[in-house]
Amino acid sequence: MLLLHGGRADGLAPSRPWHLAALRMRLFERAISAALPREDVLLARVRYRHRGWNDDRADPVRDTLDALGELAVLTGPVPTVLVGHSMGARAALHAAGHPQVRGVVALAPWWPPGEPTDQLTDRHVVVLHGALDRVTSPVEAAACLRRARSSTARAAMAVIRDGDHAMLRRHRFWHHTTAAAVAHLIAPTDRPDPLPAECYEAADAPVL
């Protein structure tokens, strides 16, 4: 499993592990680690060379694909779940076509109109978005997910009531739901899906 933290639209400065975007995901890392169904599941973080997406460079996507390649060398071709926040979620969604990727959990994703979705074919996609997010758009994310639904293995979206972009409001709910979703994607027969069936329907995403 790979974690991808957020970043900026533009920025060639180096990304550092003490930046707030990276520190924020440490809490998710702990929650996911505690919820993983087996001891033989590896949890790792993607290191970005730059803080920004940087237009057509899409630097975090290259970093994610490099990390998946390194993971394959280390562990072999094991199924991998990508968990990303904001810019990291956008990178995860772009990198989902990698043959190792089983699914993506996108937290408050930066998923603008016109994004490609073919790479999500036969992948599991879970989108969690805060109702009070003023940085990235749940409406745009929902539109992209609707386009992807015809080809994904399964696709779900839920809106977190009172949730903000930083995932600080109702943080325990964010952590618990994300961790349970990851555990279900890794071991679907052993761990229940934390999301109600309505999340998988084409109608508006339910508020949790």
Residue 121, pLDDT > 90, answer: yes
Q: What is the pLDDT of residues 74-94, one digit of tens each?
A: 888 889 999 999 999 999 999
How many C-beta neighbours within 10 Å does residue 82 have?
A: 30
Phi-psi sector, 170: left (phi>0), alpha (psi -120 to 50), beta: left
Mean pLDDT (whole number) for 38-65: 93
Helix 171-186 × helix 20-35 angle, to 10°: 50
CA 193 to chain centre: 16
This prediction has a pTM of: 0.96
Q: What is the pLDDT of residue 109?
A: 98
